Amino acid sequence: MSDRSPDSTPSLGPIGRLQETVSQFFHPIAFRAVETTGELTHACRLVYEEYLKRTYIAPNPWQMKLSLYQALPSTTTFLAVHQHHGLVGTVTLVEDSPLGLPMDEVYKAELDEMRRQGLRLAEATMLALRSDLFGTGVFTMFHSKKLMLTLRLFKVMFDYLRSCTQADELVACFNPKHQMLYDFLSLKPLGGLKTYPGANSHPAIAKHLNVAQTRQQATATAPYKLFYGSTPSASDFTKKLRLSAADLLQLFIRETPILASASPTELAYVKQCYPSYPIQEMLRDDLSHQPPVLKPFQQP
Amino acid sequence: MQDKLFDHRKAERLHLHLPCRYTFERPEGRAEGVAVTSEVSGGGVGFVLADGVAPGTACQVALTLPERGVVAFAGHVIWCQPRSNGQRNEFDIGVAFTVSRTNHREAFESYCQFIASHLVLRYTE
C-alpha cells in the first residue's frame, strides 16, 4: 500500500503501527471519578481554559468553571488522567435536584415536561479535552484518539450513571457544531436552537438519551458496543470525592463567592445535603479568611 | 513521550474497500469509471486506476457505504503514483474531498457516522 495519505497529513506508516500508537496513547490514561478537591480544581481549570479559548465563558478571577452544582453530593466529575501528563479530559454529571440542572437556564420547559412524566434526569456537562493534544482543526469524528478519548470519558460517566444513579434520562445541551457527536451517540432532540447565557450567549441545542433504551441497542451501534462492553459496578466509584466541610469552605467560600452568592433557597438545599456541616458559620468565616493555598494536582 | 502524546494528524486512514464511482474533469474531457477504495479517511479516499490522473484534477466521488447508501462529494486529486508493487498501468490515486458541511450536510453526516463507527469498532476491546 501507499504510505501517502489522501488527506495530506504526515504518515505514521503501516496500519499496525497506527493501532499500536492508539493503544499506547490510552495505556497510561485512567478514566475515573474525581477523588480529591485538587483534582476537582484541576478539572474546573481545564474546562475554564478550554471554554475561554472558544469564548464559551467570560473570564473570571478564580479561573475555574465552577458552580453551585459542583457543591452538591449528587454531582460527579470524571477525569481522563495521564500517568505522566496529568489531566487530559473531563466531563461532569449533574443529577437533578431541587436546584434543577444547569441547562434549566434555557431548557426548563422541555425538562419540566420530562419531569412531569416522572422521569429522573441527569445532565452531562462541562466536557473538555486538552486541545493541545491534537492540534488545531481536528474533527473528533475523524480522529481515533480524540474520538476514543471523548467516548471513554462518556463511558465512565455512563458506567456511573448506570451503576450509581437512578436516572432514566441523560440530557445535555451543547453548541450545535458538536451535534454530530451527540447524534453519533444516538441522543434524541429535546430542545431547539436557543441562545445560552450560561455559555456566554453562544447558540445551544438540547438532546436526551433514555438509559433503558440504550440497553436495547447495546449491540446495534459502535458507541454502545463500547459503553456496554463491560459491566459497571458501583464499587468502581467508591473513591469518588465526598466534599468535606473544609472542602466546601475552601472551594465555594474562600476561593469563589459561590456559596456566598447563593439564594436562600439554594443555600437551604446545600445545608440539607450536608446537615452536619456548619454552613452558616463557614460563610461568616469568609469575612476573615486567609488567601487560599491550592493543593497541587495529585497524579495517580 | 511528548511525540506519542501529542498527535497532530487530522484524520486516520481506514483500509476499507468500498465501491466508488468517480468522474474526473480533465482538460481533454470528462472521464468516468468505477473503482474500489484502498483506503478512506475523513479527508478523502484512495483507490487504484489503470491510468494516472494529474494532481489538481477536479473530480466527483460517489461512495457506497454499507447500510447507509451512496454519498457523493466533490474533490480533487492530490497525488498519483505508480503502484509500489511494480505492476504497470496501475496508479494509486489520492482524492481530497472539498466538503462543505452546508452544501453536503446529509452526505457529510452519514460519512462522519460511518468513519467514526469504524474507528470505534477498531479500538474497542
Digit-coded pLDDT (tens) for A176-199:
999 999 999 999 999 999 999 988
Distance (Å, whole) CA A19 – CA B123: 8
pLDDT at residue A42 in the model: 97
C-alpha cell at A135: 492540534
Q: What is the mean pLDDT of residues A105-134?
A: 95
Least confident of A105-109, A271-275, B53-57, B84-88: B84-88
pLDDT at residue A6 in the model: 38
**Contact call for residues A79 and A89 (beta carbons, < 8 A):** yes
Task: Give the residue, A203 or A290, on which the prediction is more confident.
Answer: A203
Residue type, A161: L
Distance (Å, whole) CA A298 – CA A273: 27
Q: Which residue of B has its CA nearest to A12?
A: B9
**Contact call for residues A126 and A92 (beta carbons, < 8 A):** yes
pLDDT at residue A69 in the model: 98
pLDDT at residue B2 in the model: 40
* pTM tops 0.90, yes or no: no
Contact criterion met (CB < 8 Å) for B42 and A142: yes
Q: What is the mean pLDDT of residues A261-270?
A: 96
Distance from CA of A172 to the nearest CA of B (A): 20
pLDDT at residue B61 in the model: 94
C-beta neighbour count of B111 within 10 angstroms:
23
Report which secondary-structure segment, H or E, holds B96: strand B91-97
What's the mean pLDDT when you consider all of chain A? 87
pLDDT in tens, A131-157: 888 776 778 888 888 899 999 999 999
For chain A, say whether B109 makes contact (Cβ under 8 Å). Answer: yes
Contact criterion met (CB < 8 Å) for A221 and B117: yes
Please tell me which of A290-299, B100-109, B111-120 the model is most confident about, judged by mean pLDDT.
Answer: B111-120
Contact criterion met (CB < 8 Å) for A24 and B116: no
Q: What is the mean pLDDT of residues B20-28?
A: 93
E strand spans, chain A: 29-33, 75-82, 86-95, 121-129, 169-174, 188-196, 202-210
- Residue B85 banded pLDDT, cuts 50, 70, 90: low
Mutate which: B8, B10, B99, vs A, most A CBs within 10 A? B10
In the block, residue with C-alpha cell 503514483: B81
Residue type, A135: G
Distance (Å, whole) CA B17 – CA A297: 46
Size of interface A-B (CB pairs under 8 A): 143
**Cβ-based contacts of B96 with chain A (< 8 Å):** 6-8
